[in-house]
Amino acid sequence: MKFIIKHEIKGRLRVHLPVKRLSFREADILEYYLNNFPEIKTAKVYERTADAVVTFACDRERIIGIFKEFSFDNVKVPEKVFECSERELSAEYYDRLVMTVILHYGKRLVLPVSIRRIWVMIKSLKYAWRGIKTLKNKQLQVELLDAMAITAAVHTGDFKTASSVMFLLKIGDILEDWTHKRSVDDLARRMSLNIDKVWMFADGGEVLVDSSDIKCGDRVVVRVGNMIPFDGEVYAGEAMVNQASMTGESVAVHKGIGMSVFAGTVVEDGELTISVTQIEGSGRFDKIVKMIEESEKLKSSLESKAERLADKLVPYTLLASGLTWLVSRNVTKAVSVLMVDYSCALKMAMPISVLSAIKEASEYDITVKGGRFLEAVAEADTIVLDKTGTLTKAQPTVVRVVSFNGESEDELLRQAACLEEHFPHSVARAVVEAAQKKDLLHDELHTKVEYIVAHGIASEIDNEKAVIGSYHFVFEDEGVEIPEDKKGLFEELPDEYSHLYFAKNGRLAACILIEDPMREEVKAVVEELRTQGFEHIVMMTGDSERTARKIAAEAGITEYYAEVLPEDKAGYIERAKAEGRKVIMVGDGINDSPALSASDAGIAISEGAEIARQIADITISSSNLESIATLREISMLLMKRIKYNYRTIVGFNTALIGLGVAGILPPATSAMLHNGSTVALGLKSMTNLLPEDKNESRL
């Protein structure tokens, strides 16, 4: 590809393509292409100017080579990249904003005064109708104040003021709508499906295939804890399905043969074979957007309180205007009061602040499903952390397989992988990957597998009952015995590893030793959370006491609980909330789901089970736990911004009303200052809460 270097500094390059402008699709293709190179930190393509800006940490010539190799025809881009692109949306609102400004000031230059006055009177009818509709609904809202102020200005012949008020109101509406739409769309993109592989039923067995290879009519198998990847009908099986992401239902619903299921919902219990009726990229994004826009979860209590206060203040503004007229008999002073209200600014600045904070969090790979969860994170004094996959790395590895039944270690690993490959857990993935590294083929050796949440798996291999899982499940629940001549070997199993027990026919067959090292950043993150005000930092795990004690000591956590079940985690959170504490839960597995639901804000690690991400209020896509501290910082700064906005709005507008009543400010000036300050505060609320160097430091 040919291009021109327009500007260059160390680590940053701006290039121009030799065309007048790029189409939205072309810009998306180029940006997708550039962002797929690890050498490029950030890439931004501007379709209007046909420019691309990249920051990089490599040799300049490498970047030049990347641009030279580019061709629009040779880049294969997933369709969902175009489906989720916000370019067209941004261009639409940008054009609306520019056109509104041009028309407003263009009319002043082109149209005679008489025509402009007629135009203002006609436009004022729309705002008058808005105000009347609020009365029809038996409500006194800000639209009524706008209508009365504009009508009074027209009635007194102050057409310039009426025109300015309507212009600023329209600008404010566009900015608010644009910010809301961008924030909601970005959140929807983060919540969209990202499923690469699915189990397809073919030729009497199951085959793991790319989700992009699935066609309508194919049958896919979805087991407990997994997300349903496509819309379809149940072909076989039955299950309880969590449909909260699509319908808002908090209780799982039963699904059986012939019933419809939806992409993005999660199997909580059971197993389904689904006949696909609609593949990826067929409206899923629009469904999520609608769900978010209709969700009351987007509102924090402070935001809701501000909106309620805004509506409550409308009658008082009307009363103040009426009293001003009765006392002064001066219509101009009365109109000055109407021109200024608290409601407009409160209703605009608060939602924009929350949605902008959600958008900013997404820049740090944090998906927040609503403003009230940011508020909960800001107010929390207790944080509960799961161990496996949260404090420890999400990629545990098999160190060794210890045989207890005479079979070879490789054969036992092969059988264990055959069972584990169907279930979403980091330890299960470790077993499967260990078998793959040894090229151990593990075709379906077993009968139907049953997953027991937080315990293990049960099935049959060669007509022998096979179980694999925790000590509690294998030895206490299933009553498995240790061979007499192997008890010494069992006692010598090293403590520094997690133990996964595999038994057949009621006798221990193998112990798989799993190395699950703690994340490097955990100790620093725990210290930072303490400085941010968390009084209780708690670790909970189903692992043994010795393993829990070791990890807690390394992490600097003094309060921990070992060998806990899912109900134990949820029970602790319920007790803490009963004591008046605000609790955050951080987890990644199916067994964390009850605790995530019970907490004031549940945070899921995206590398974990789909059901955890579905139930959680917040999802962290980054592999670095520093995101939790970043989330806390954003949340606390958001609460400060909301309180600052509230004080500024009340103080500034009260001053304007006072100056208007005193006759110091005419209605036109009051309206200009009020609407100007509202838009300015809205624009300020759109800015990032964290300093720029915070974002740059993570690149």
Nearest to 387 by CA among 530, 591, 615, 633: 591
Q: What is the pLDDT of residues 259-302, one digit of tens each?
A: 888 877 788 778 889 999 877 544 454 555 555 555 444 555 66
Any idea of the CA torsion for 415, 419, 420, 424, to the nearest 10 degrees? Answer: 170
Q: Which residue matches tokens 């100056």? A: 659
> What's at 451, amino acid-wise?
Y
Q: Under a CB-based contact definition with an 8 Å cutoff, are residues 351 and 279 in contact?
A: no
In the predicted model, is pLDDT for residue 183 greater than 80? no
What is the CATH T-level fold of the domain 366-393+518-621, as seen in this structure? Rossmann fold (3.40.50)
Residue 695, pLDDT score: 52
> What's at 644, amino acid-wise?
Y
The Cβ of residue 342 has, within 10 Å, a number of other Cβ atoms equal to: 25
Determine whether 372 is exposed, middle or buried from the number of CB atoms within 10 Å of its CB (0-12, 13-18, 19+): buried
User: φ, ψ for residue 560 (rounded to 5)?
Assistant: -145, 160
Tokens of 586: 């951080």
What is the arithmetic mean of pLDDT over 524-548? 89
Residue 482, pLDDT score: 93
Q: What is the pLDDT of residues 27-73, one digit of tens each?
A: 999 999 998 898 898 899 999 899 999 999 888 899 999 999 998 88
What is the CATH T-level fold of the domain 197-279, as seen in this structure? 2.70.150
Phi-psi label, residue 506: left if phi above 0, alpha if psi -120 to 50, beta otherwise? left
* Interatomic CA distance for residues 206 and 198, integer angstroms: 10
Nearest to 391 by CA among 514, 555, 535, 524: 555
What is the arithmetic mean of pLDDT over 333-343? 71
What is the DSSP secondary structure assignment for residue 481, as one 8-state letter? Answer: B
- The architecture (CATH level 2) of 397-515 comes to 3-Layer(aba) Sandwich (3.40)
What is the arithmetic mean of pLDDT over 220-231? 82
Q: What is the pLDDT of residues 608-665, one digit of tens each?
A: 556 666 678 888 876 688 999 999 999 999 999 988 988 888 888 888 888 877 778 7
Tokens of 240: 């309880």
Residue 304: pLDDT band with limits 50, 70, 90: low
Q: Under a CB-based contact definition with an 8 Å cutoff, are residues 612 and 590 in contact?
A: yes
* Interatomic CA distance for residues 421 and 338, integer angstroms: 67
Q: What is the pLDDT of residues 435-487, one digit of tens each?
A: 988 888 756 665 567 766 556 788 888 788 899 988 888 998 889 999 989 99
Q: What is the pLDDT of residues 63-99, one digit of tens each?
A: 999 999 998 888 888 766 776 677 888 888 888 888 9
Dihedral angle sign, alpha carbons of residues 335, 336, 342, 343: positive
Residue 192, pLDDT score: 57
Residue 230, pLDDT score: 84
In the predicted model, is pLDDT for residue 384 greater than 60? yes
- The architecture (CATH level 2) of 4-77 comes to 2-Layer Sandwich (3.30)
Q: What is the pLDDT of residues 131-158, one digit of tens each?
A: 888 777 676 766 777 788 788 778 878 7
